[in-house]
Structures are given as structure tokens and as C-alpha cells.
Amino acid sequence: MIQVRGQALGDASARLGDPAPPVRVFPNRRLSRSRSTSCRRGFALGLFGAWLLASAGATAAPGPGFDFESVRALARSLAQQPYRAPENDVPEFLLDLDYDAHRDIRFKPARSIWRKEGLPFQLQLFHLGLFFNRPVAIHLVEDGVARPFAFDASLFDYGRNRFPEPLPPDLGYAGFRVHSHINRNDYFDEVIVFVGASYFRAVAKQLRYGLSARGIAVDTAVDGPEEFPYFKEFWIVEPAARAKQIVIYGLLDGPSLAGAYRFVVEPGKETVAAVQATLFARSRPRRLGMAPLTSMFWHAENSETDFGDFRPRVHDSDGLLMHAGSGEWIWRPLRNPMQLELSAFQDRNPRGFGLLQRERDFSFYQDLEAHYEQRPSAWVEPVGDWGPGGVVLVEMPSDIETNDNIVAFWEPREGPKPGEPFDFGYRLHWYGDNAGWPPRGRTLATRIGAIHDSEDTRFVIDFGQGELPKLAPGAEVMANVSAGPGGVVSDVVTHRNEYTRGWRVAFRLTTEDADEPVELRCYLATQGRVLTETWSYRWTP
């Protein structure tokens, strides 16, 4: 069974390498909503504003025959040197731009890279300014030869902006985005964007941008500042005339480590990025997060408050799904807690995990602008054995929907050691829905309510899909419900829900300590056969 633990911010005893009882919950540090630690979304894609660092110079250009080993050699060499904080050479008048003024600087679509050549992928660049004060070196790779792509102000339409002096000829770029055919053969949609620290995000067919991914997470939710390594250089390989994939290399740098990355991106109904990475540590991070995902959850049907908002639900993701090495599927509905909460699901060689947006009906959101029903899910599929460790979920309090307050990643028990390469790979799927994740029934809704004249709590969980719609109305379906220390479950009722073509479970929870959270689990079975994923929930009285 996967073990679940929560911890206070900075509780070193909750590292995944330490032994733990089957279920143990550490008290959490309380944070007021008005002072919650989180980030602005939109152009500010990084948590806690970490991209507000200065720029660094480009590394030496590799020779002919450029490939992943070329970037790997650069990362190894970089890690052998002391970390140098990048210098800020971006003019102040660009950094002083407000959001609307910076947004008014637009790349000219007619100048897209590879547009004239008629290739199946095109590139557009992001301009420096506002939050983005760290130039990123961009190289194009053709026939194995990497050539730097110099800054060119004529590629941009500056709109109503008027600057007090000319832009530096060597200004550089903040990042880039890739365009290709997803929805129509006569239009180049945005596919994937890299901008801000090590952040990137992608879309698939009929979806809009939502949650983000990162190259790596360092010291997330530990006592002290989080470290934000950044992609300081990219090499983008010119695609063949009929290519369905595009290859991108990235060089990562930060105080604790340097890294080499290879992304093979294939857009479509599911956009899949095959990621190969090698890290070289200068020092051992206190917490390393592999394949990190960052999202937003404000409120939903399981929330204690809707913040006076007219919409029924507001979130980019509504749950964490895990496929454990044992084969168990686990669904953890997301929460917007009153305090920072961290859960670590211990495992060995996980088969996958991701932050999902399951609700795809407009009626659940009622937002004609944000269209949360069109936000993608992201699924991490490990390549090879990842060994012992755990999926870590960090939930931060937020009083507004523009905060990315959810983080999920894999924390290995043994991270990178100085002087030794640390290799890993995974496939990152961006998609709307996948019936194979999980193949069994899934959680449709989690509802929580008070019980009259009692301090107990009523939980109502709807399960659907999988085998559930095919079961006879009189089928003997049993609910396996359990509570961790501090909780007692009673009055368990299971019955068919004709409206969802699934089954509903209701139960009563009595808590022994009003200040301690309780871990809950529930799944459905019939005749000894598991029918659904395991619903996993942390209840804070």
C-alpha cells in the first residue's frame, strides 16, 4: 500500500528516505490566506517570482554533430564550476512595462521561423521585459550544426510602445513557442511554450493552455527559499518536410545543479513530449522534484467556501491521479486548504502520475472567458525504473484564481550526488481524457456536509465509468472505506445512482481531535474484484 504523510513546512523528518508508519499525518503550519505564498499566473509562469533573476551569458557553441551528448557535456562542465548568478543587462524601460504594455509587444506571424520553407513546425520568440529580465540563448540546429539565432527587433510589432532609447542589438529573447497543425490543416496552432525559469506548457487538440510543467523542482516546501533553476540555452532542431515531431534541447542551470534536457514533442489529440534528462549536482538539494507539474485550484464541489464567486467551480486541475508500482490506481481530489499542506505517497517504480482536469462540461464552470472545461490534463509516464521514492503533492492556500497553488512531482529517495550524473526519462502527455487512466471506474464527485446536531461530517462520493454502468441494478457492490488515526467511519451506505449510471457511497466520519487532519480511503468491489480507483482524501476538521 502507498503510504501517505503530511508535514509542516520545513519538517525535515518527512523526507521520503525516512521510515514512516503506514499512515502518519504531521501538523501543518497555518498560513493566512491574505499572506499565502503563491504566484501570479498568465505571463508570470513561475512560482514565487523566481524568474526575476538576472541574465547569464551563453556557453561555448558546440561543434558539428550536435546532439544530446553535446548538451550533456556542457552541463557537466557547467556543474564543475561555481554557480554564477546571471547579470541583468535588460534596459530598465523594458522591465518597467506593465502587463498590458508588455503584451502589446507581439511577434509577427509572417516572420515565423520556417514559415517560408513550408515546414510542418514554426517558431515564434518572446520579448524580454516586465517579469522576464533574463535573456535565453536560442540556437537553431540544421544538419547537426548549431547556429545562434541573434536578436532581431524587426521580428516584433511593438504596438503603442515608445521607448526612450534604441533597443540593444544583442538584447536576446525571453523564450519561444512552437506552432504546428493540431485543430486544422490550414492553421498553425500553438503547441508548446518555454518561457520563465524552467517552465513550459503545452496544449492538445481542442484544448487551451492551463497547468504548467517544469524541468525540475528544487527545495519545494522546505524551510527556506525554493530554488528555481532555469533554462539558459535552447537548441531547436529544424524539422524535416513531413516531420510529425520536433526536437528541442535545453541547458539548465541553478545554484545546486546543472542539467541537460532533450524534448521530442509530437502534437495531436494528445500532445506527447518525450523527455530525457541528465542532472549534475554542485551540492545535494534538500528536496528534488522530478517531472514537476504546477496548477491552480480555487474552489469546487468539495470546497468549504466558494469565495462569493458566481461560478460553481474554478480550477485548472481537480485531482492528482497516481498509478502505483503495485498496480493500484489512486485519486486524490485537490483542495484549497487554510494552511499549506504536503502529502507524500511513498512508492517504488511508479507507473505514472498526473494532475487532471476531469470535468469537461461547461455547466460545471459557467465561465465564457476562461473556459476551464478546455484546460488540459498532464500525465507523467516514467521511462525505466525510477526506484524508491514518492509522489509529493503540495497544496497552498489561495484567495484568488490567478495563483498557481498546486504542485506535484516525484521525489526520489536518492537524488543526484555531486560528481555523478543523474539520468531519468519520462513521457509527458497533455490531453483531454484517456479511458485507460484509470481503466476501472473513477471518482465523479466528492461532496462534504455537516450533520445536524452533531460535530460529525457526512461524505458522499460518486463513482462512475469502467464496469459500473454494466452492472445489474441488484448487483452486490461493497464499499471499502477506512480512516487513518484520529478518525472513525460509520453508517456506510452504497447504492446505485441512475443519474450517473454509477454508484454512490455515503458515510459518517467522527474525528477525535479537532486540530488533526485525517486520511480517508474508499473504493468499490464486487465478489472480491476491485471495480474502481481508490479515492484518497485528507479531511481537516
For the entire predicted model, the pTM comes to 0.88
pLDDT for residue 48:
32
pLDDT at 469 over 50: yes
Q: Which of 386, 403, 431 is the last residue of a domain?
A: 431
Distance CA 347, CA 351 (A): 10
333 within a domain of the structure (yes/no) = yes
Q: Do 457 and 364 belong to one domain?
A: no
Domain limits for position 524: 442-539
pLDDT for residue 34:
31
Q: Do 45 and 141 belong to one domain?
A: yes
Contact between 336 and 297 under an 8 Å Cβ cutoff? The reply is yes
Q: Do 201 and 301 belong to one domain?
A: yes
Binned at pLDDT 50, 70 and 90, residue 234 comes out as very high
Q: Do 416 and 462 belong to one domain?
A: no
Q: Do 417 and 451 belong to one domain?
A: no
499 grid coordinates = 443519474
What residues contact 26, with CB distance under 8 A and at least 6 apart?
5, 6, 7, 8, 11, 13, 14
Contact between 264 and 274 under an 8 Å Cβ cutoff? The reply is yes
Q: Do 326 and 389 belong to one domain?
A: yes
412 within a domain of the structure (yes/no) = yes
Binned at pLDDT 50, 70 and 90, residue 222 comes out as very high
Q: Do 337 and 376 belong to one domain?
A: yes
pLDDT for residue 513:
84
Q: Do 421 and 502 belong to one domain?
A: no
Q: Do 381 and 454 belong to one domain?
A: no
pLDDT for residue 38:
34
| Each residue's pLDDT tens digit, 268-288 | 999 999 999 999 999 999 999
| Torsion sign over Cα 371, 372, 373, 374 | positive
Domain total of the chain: 2
| Each residue's pLDDT tens digit, 309-362 | 999 999 999 999 999 999 999 999 999 999 999 999 999 999 999 999 999 999
Binned at pLDDT 50, 70 and 90, residue 89 comes out as confident
**CATH for 322:** 2.70.98.10
322 grid coordinates = 497516481
**CATH for 485:** 2.60.40.10
| Each residue's pLDDT tens digit, 385-418 | 999 999 999 999 999 999 999 999 999 999 999 9
Q: How many residues does the chain have?
A: 541
Q: Do 290 and 423 belong to one domain?
A: yes
Round the average pLDDT of the chain to a whole number and report it: 89
Q: Which of 368, 401, 431 is the last residue of a domain?
A: 431
389-424 burial, b for 16+ CB within 10 Å, e for fewer? bbbbbbbbbbbbbebbbbbbbbbbeebbeeeebbeb
25 within a domain of the structure (yes/no) = no
pLDDT at 267 over 60: yes
